[in-house]
Chains A and B, each alone.
Chain A
Amino acid sequence: MTPAYAATPGGLLLVLAVMLPAAAVLAMLVLGPRHTRLVALIALALGLVVALATGIQLVRSQAALIYVLGNWQPPLGIALRADGLSVMMLAVTAVVMAATGLFARELFGLDLATADGRLATSFWILLMGLWSGLNLVFVSQDLFNLYVALELLTFAAVPLVCLDGRGETMAAALRYLMFALLGSMLYLLGAGLLYGAYGTLDIRLIASASQHGPAMPIALALMIPGLLAKAALFPLHLWLPPAHAGAPAAASAVLSALVIKAPVVLILRLVADIAPPGSAAVAGQVLAVLGAASILFCSVMALRQERLKLMIAYSTVAQIGYLFIVFPLAGVGDGTAPWGTIAWTGGALQLTSHALAKAAMFMAAGIVAEAVGHDRIRDLGGFGRVLPLTATTFGLAGLSLMGIPPSGGFIAKCLLLTAAAIGGHLWLALTILAGGLLAGGYVFRVMDRALATPAEPLLLRKPIPLRLELIPLVLAMLAVALGFLPLEPFGLLQIGRPDMALAVSP
């Protein structure tokens, strides 16, 4: 019998993607606080190279990259596998991480007290841990391994939230931790039930099972809400606004851009790969309802926020909603392959462009808060005159969130809207349009302040170096550059997808 997984040439790259940040953490602990920054920056540079090499290898081989740990085949062993979606996420993660690293270096450098202090050291260690966890979520094929990866992610993300040690952020971090743990427990219970029914934890082996007992729906009903709690989809978003708004700017950027995407990607895999068609259709409907509610509800909330960072945090919850309305639009559960549809491409592009735009926006907000000393939107009148590059960053990132051309967000929403129009999902089409309008409202509120000329010009608390302003600008421009992608399904996302038909394992 041929094994379910055969290691492919580039497979070792996946191990490298996971282990490189972990090795960096070890190196930091060994070398001591004075070298954390250097180690982190080296790891970030290497990580970019690894992500690039993974992408090249994937495109060249036109097949998923696979690595089987210790050559133990599932169900006993653990396999790492990267298809088009995984590689896209690896690449986005590497880019956002690298930008965050550079941004943090400049930001901590602003204040000599924090340059190499405890806060910075903790930040670098946690950032590396976070990265390792993210990469593991994107490449792992084993449900329990994924659980460990999600926990690693949470344990790195929670301290990032309360890095500044204020009581307010402590409370936000605890709220985040407790709710995420509740979610993980539900997920773990579901994974255990699946193991009991199928005797394996491997996603592909479970998906290839020909018969599904009652364990499958129960397990999915536990795992999906558990993951939703971690993704903070409305109405489970209680922890996100205070946590993301309270974290330091560099941490908010990765939290909002990447960390909440990990459970989302996992939900995509569960619903599109594992769930039997009937369940997938139901899950798709439920998730789409929640996603649409998230878009509308949290956009209104974003519109009503007084503080810039809270506004951006609510916008994150709203933008996550677009990822969940993909399911019915891509026809998940009606027997067709969803990954070849324009809606799937639109969803993937929304994932990417939101990651870039939101990271840029949080960094821009961080610069404003650093320069002005507060982030009350009302009192930011004229910040475009003193921080023109940051205001431009905010505007460009805003274009992508609003879905205004040319931007990645526009292509994403255009594809989703087209899918909705063709599929006759009028309510989803209206939701997408209304979401764009509301996003326009909250971006406009800030841009209006940026362009204003107040009677007393805004005073900068401290000068902001050009390099600091350039980093988010580059991210925002990348989000805009995604708008030059063609309006059709990407080939990349289909690599490694259609081979779901596997022999049923013993």
Chain B
Amino acid sequence: MSAAASATGLLLATALLAPLVLAAACLSRAVRARMPGLLWLAPMPALLAAGLLPAGTAIAFPVPFRMALALDQPGAILLGGAALLWSAAGAYAASYLRGKPGLTAFSVWWLLTLAGSLGVLIVADIAGFYLLFTLASLSAYGLVAHEQTDAARRAGLVYMVLALLGEAFLLFAFVMLAAGQPDPNPLIRDAVAALPGSPMRDGIVALLMLGFALKMGLIPLHVWLPLAHPAAPMPASAVLSGVLVKAGVIGLIRFLPFEAPLPAWGAVLATAGILTAFGGAALGVAQRRPKTILAYSTVSQMGLVAAILGAGLAAGDASAPGLAAYYGVHHTLVKGGLFLAVGVAFASGGSRRWPVLLLTGLLALSLAGLPLTSGALAKLAVKPMLGSGVLSIAVSLAAAGSTLLMLHFSAVMISETADNPPSSAPLGESLPWLAIAAASLLIPWWLYPTLSGGALASAWSLPSLWKLVWPMMLGVGVFVSAGRFAGLAGRVPEGDILVLAERQAPRFARLPAAIERLDGRLRLWPVAGLVLLGLVIWLGGGFLMAA
């Protein structure tokens, strides 16, 4: 390995290790007190790595750590966006949480989640992926439950149960993936290359999709998301909704075999994605709190990403991962910016309110594909791959749904901030927000030519604009004509079907209660004695039959 190659590899490793080192440094009392102010620095190596390193940079950790990192195009795109948002949200958090209790614990969870969520984008081996995915999932609990209100604790519980369930799905899938490989911890690339020929293929793909869909929040596995994202403190909501769900996206990108088409599974994923895109928007419109609306919007947007990946999987289109990553980075920056915007807008009043709301509205409509914004670019970039069939029309209609949801969000924001006392958000909060907003508007322009393959000029053309504008007009039309969402808002509880499930809880509790009663019986002395003798007879009979 040449010196240059090892230097680039080291930078990649630093991207993962820097936040972990900072987390470990919290053991020191002196560092601990300053840590909130340093949070913005933690993702800097990752940002540098994403910006500077060429795709194909790789490094393998020495034994016994057996982890391999590698940077590729989708990974680098998502890594850059995620690092930017983590950095801005870290700076925001330092100001937002100043003087509040539990800051050290928050910083440690923050850094661990950060390390996991960035590491998962660059890790190349299966065990390492599982490790970092788990790190991000479990540490995020600390962010979700940080505020220790009843809502936060409930959200934390639901989050944890579903996160562990997802871990179980993925572990089984990974074990089956690795089972056929000579190396007990193969590179993801090698294992996935062998996946289409694996005898356990369908089981593996099904488990992978379930596990990653849980993380992305595809309906009906989305129930934790509208609870967890709003429950966290503002900057944590931004990264949870902006970055953490991307762990599911990168999982699908890494583990699904896009080189070899799997039409049936592609159709399943695309269908689930489209349903989620519509369902998320429909459920979101019935919500009242801005952060919950944003969380449902994340559900809806992740549905679109799943639809893109599903279409790619069905067609065996190797460009799908790059396009999904491009859509993903747009969503990371915009959704992160929107969550920060909610915080800034809540702190702004009087004449300062309107500029903030205006920019917020611009970001919101970017999600719906407002021309010249990153959303428009993302939608234009993926259009060619979706073709002109049902899927293409469905995605366009989903943009109408997004428009509707984002108009609803803007309306709620205007009414929620109407009574604010005249003041402005502290600079420590508004500057990071402005940085993210600017990045979300600029960076996608820079990436567009490499990803879409078309020139930037094509994004201005009249047909392109029309493709974007008609769904938005439809959305606006519905919003204006049926401007009675005030009646609808609040009709669906946060977490929708989860609430239905919780009503059935007494029934679910019967089984453990029955188990407890049975345990009481089995632990009676005569019962246990007879069971012991029964075991002797069972084994003896079995042995004699076998012999």
Contact = CB atoms under 8 A, between A and B. Distances in A.
Interface of A: 175, 179, 182-183, 186, 212, 214, 216-218, 220-222, 224-225, 228-229, 234-238, 241, 276, 278-279, 281-283, 285-286, 297, 300-301, 303-304, 402-406, 414, 417-418, 421-422, 429, 433-434, 436-437, 440-441, 444, 448, 451-453, 484-488
B175 A404 contact: no
Contacts of B167: 404, 436, 440
Contacts of A433: 168, 171-172
A269 to B, nearest CB: 16
B471 to A, nearest CB: 41
B130 A405 contact: yes
A237 B535 CA distance: 14
Interface in B507-547: 512, 515-516, 518-519, 522-525, 528-529, 531-532, 535-540, 542-547
A229 B534 CA distance: 12
19 contacts: A182-B529, A183-B532, A212-B547, A216-B547, A217-B540, A220-B543, A221-B540, A222-B536, A224-B539, A225-B536, A279-B542, A297-B518, A297-B519, A303-B512, A405-B127, A405-B130, A414-B171, A418-B175, A487-B185
B248 to A, nearest CB: 18
A225 B512 contact: no
Given A405-B130, A418-B179, A453-B148, A300 B531 contact: no
A234 B519 CA distance: 10
A236 B528 contact: yes
Contacts of A452: 148, 153
A440 B167 CA distance: 11
Q: Which 5 pairs from chain A and chain B are nearest by CB?
A: A217-B543, A221-B540, A487-B184, A278-B546, A484-B64
B47 interface: no
Contacts of B153: 448, 452
Contact of B164 (A237, A282, A440): A440
A304 B532 CA distance: 25
A237 to B, nearest CB: 7
Contacts of A402: 164
A179 B531 CA distance: 12
B547 A225 contact: no
A418 B178 contact: yes
A304 B520 CA distance: 13
A69 B105 CA distance: 58
Looking at chain A's contact residues, is the secondary structure mostly helix, strand, loop, or mixed?
Answer: helix
Given A433-B171, A453-B102, A448 B156 contact: yes
B179 A236 contact: no
Contact of A182 (B127, B130, B518, B532): B532
B544 A217 contact: yes
B176, B525, B528 interface centre (most CB from chain A within 10 Å): B528
A486 B546 contact: no
A440 B532 CA distance: 31
Contacts of A451: 105, 142, 145
Nearest to B513: A304
Contact of B524 (A234, A238, A488): A238
Contacts of A238: 522-525, 528
A414 B64 contact: no
Interface in B125-182: 127, 130-131, 134, 138, 142, 145, 148, 153, 156-157, 160-161, 164-165, 167-168, 171-172, 175-176, 178-179
Contacts of A414: 127, 171, 175
B89 to A, nearest CB: 21
A218, A224, A422, A451 interface centre (most CB from chain B within 10 Å): A451
Nearest to B173: A421
A444 B102 CA distance: 19
B539 A437 contact: no
Contacts, number: 155
Given A238-B523, A417-B172, A436-B167, 9 more contacts: A221-B536, A221-B543, A225-B535, A286-B539, A297-B515, A404-B134, A405-B134, A486-B184, A488-B184
B168, B518, B531 interface centre (most CB from chain A within 10 Å): B168
B66 interface: yes
A486 B542 contact: no
Given A218-B540, A276-B547, A405 B529 contact: no
A486 B200 CA distance: 24
Nearest to A221: B540
Given A297-B519, A436-B168, A486-B184, A282 B542 contact: yes
Given A175-B525, A283-B543, A405-B127, A421 B512 contact: no
B544 to A, nearest CB: 6
A217 B536 contact: no
B101 interface: yes
Nearest to B145: A451
Contacts of A237: 522-523
Nearest to A225: B535
Looking at chain B's contact residues, is the secondary structure mostly helix, strand, loop, or mixed?
Answer: helix
A301 B164 CA distance: 19
Contacts of B446: none
Contacts of A453: 101-102, 148
Contacts of B134: 404-405
A220 B539 contact: yes
A283 B547 CA distance: 12
A224 B539 CA distance: 9
Nearest to B161: A441
Contacts of A437: 164-165, 168
A418 B186 CA distance: 13
Contacts of A429: 172, 175
Contacts of B531: 235-236
Contacts of A229: 532
Nearest to A481: B64
A300 B512 contact: yes
A286 B64 contact: no
Given A301-B516, A405-B131, A452-B148, A421 B171 contact: no
A249 B438 CA distance: 58
A218 B547 CA distance: 11
B127 A235 contact: no
B543 A421 contact: no
A421 B172 contact: yes
Contacts of B185: 487
Contact of A421 (B64, B101, B179, B184): B179
B512 A304 contact: yes
A403 B164 CA distance: 11
Interface string B181-210: 000110000000000000010000000000
B543 A282 contact: yes
A301 B544 CA distance: 35
B295 to A, nearest CB: 22
Contact of A281 (B66, B540, B546): B546
Contacts of B178: 418
B131 A228 contact: no
B64 A485 contact: yes
Contacts of B102: 453
Contacts of B544: 214, 217
A452 B519 CA distance: 31
Contacts of B545: 282
Nearest to B130: A405
A218 B160 CA distance: 48
A437 B175 CA distance: 16
Contacts of B179: 418, 421-422
Contacts of A218: 540, 543
Contacts of B536: 186, 221-222, 225
B532 A236 contact: yes
Nearest to B543: A217
B127 A282 contact: no
B130, B523, B537 interface centre (most CB from chain A within 10 Å): B523
A346 to B, nearest CB: 11
A214, A237, A414, A484 interface centre (most CB from chain B within 10 Å): A414
Contacts of B543: 216-218, 220-221, 278-279, 282-283
A414 B173 CA distance: 11
